[in-house]
Amino acid sequence: MQLTKGYKQLIAEARAKIRTLSQQEALALHGDPDVLFVDIRDVRELEREGMIPGAFQAPRGMLEFWVDPESPYYKDVFGSGKQFVLYCASAWRSSLAAAALTEMGLPRVAHLDGGFKAWKESGAPVGPREHHAHGERPR
Tens-place pLDDT, residues 89-126: 999 999 999 999 999 999 999 999 999 999 999 999 99
Is pTM beyond 0.75 here? Answer: yes
Going by C-alpha positions, the residue among 54, 42, 25 that lies closest to residue 118 is 25
* Domain enclosing residue 70, as ranges: 7-121
- pLDDT band for position 136 (50/70/90)? very low
Residue 8 neighbours by CB under 8 Å, 6+ apart: none
Q: Which CATH number characterizes residue 104's domain?
A: 3.40.250.10
Q: What is the number of structural domains in the chain?
A: 1
Answer whether residue 133 is part of any domain.
no
